[in-house]
């Protein structure tokens, strides 16, 4: 607790902002008349706008304690509001029944800076080579190769010619949640209409 109230006020404002989002979700089935349900509403709201966020990100961005976050996520999973999946060292959280397994995998990679940078760059310019990607993302070629292998195994990239395997899925996710992915994703979202062709 902060003596001057600064930290507590910041935490309360953050929780209120995300609780409003959580309360508007039809999946959230609890009242908002106590601090526990406010925190759970905030977590649900956060997960709805940042699907695929891992535990530490949720805890830190909402300024919650570790035990508090664990408790509320367990409650939310138990009542069927959120669901989670293991992704390497992380457990990622999603609103229940909102995403296919492929979309959850894609969101997991979009939540990682380097794979996201690679995928966004390739969506913007499908002609990029491995060397171009390394330059564009600001990493080494071995790093690009390492993540390209992971993305290929996940069914998101064809490493032979560095083409995105499911561009429509990725583009929809990037556009829908652009604000949670950073500047490059936001720029791609603004250009999305020019990248999609419609041929009825």
Sketch out the chain's domains with CATH numbers. Answer: 6-98 (1.10.10.10), 102-195 (no CATH)
Three-state DSSP class for 83?
A: strand
Higher local confidence (pLDDT), 87 or 38: 87
Q: How confident is the model at residue 10, as a pLDDT?
A: 66
- The fraction of the chain above a pLDDT of 90, given in percent, is 68
CA distances from 59 to 119, 158, 162, 166 (A): 27, 35, 35, 31
- Tens of pLDDT, residue by residue over 43-73, are 999 999 999 999 999 999 999 999 999 999 9
d(CA 180, CA 160): 30
Q: How confident is the model at residue 196, as a pLDDT?
A: 56
d(CA 84, CA 155): 20
Residue 89, pLDDT above cutoff 50: yes
Q: How confident is the model at residue 31, as a pLDDT?
A: 41
Residue 28, pLDDT above cutoff 50: no
What rounded mean pLDDT belongs to the chain?
A: 85
Q: How confident is the model at residue 16, as a pLDDT?
A: 60
Cβ burial of 46 (10 Å; 0-12, 13-18, 19+) is buried
């Amino acid at each position: 607790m902060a003596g001057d109230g600064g930290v507590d006020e910041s935490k309360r404002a953050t929780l209120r902002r995300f609780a409003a989002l959580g309360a508007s979700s039809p999946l959230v089935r609890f009242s908002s008349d106590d601090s526990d349900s406010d925190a759970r509403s905030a977590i649900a709201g956060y997960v709805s706008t940042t699907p695929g966020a891992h535990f530490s990100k949720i805890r830190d961005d909402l300024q919650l304690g570790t035990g508090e976050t664990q408790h509320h996520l367990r409650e939310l999973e138990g009542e069927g509001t959120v669901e989670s999946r293991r992704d390497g060292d992380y457990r990622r959280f999603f609103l229940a029944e909102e995403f296919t397994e492929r979309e959850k995998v894609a969101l997991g990679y979009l939540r990682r800076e380097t794979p996201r940078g690679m995928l966004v760059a390739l969506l913007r310019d499908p002609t990029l080579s491995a060397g171009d990607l390394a330059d564009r993302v600001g990493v080494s070629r071995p790093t690009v190769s390492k993540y390209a292998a992971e993305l290929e195994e996940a069914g998101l990239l064809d490493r032979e010619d560095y083409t995105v395997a499911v561009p429509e899925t990725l583009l929809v996710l990037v556009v829908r949640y652009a604000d949670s992915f950073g500047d490059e994703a936001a720029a791609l979202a603004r250009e999305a209409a020019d990248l999609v062709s419609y041929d009825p």
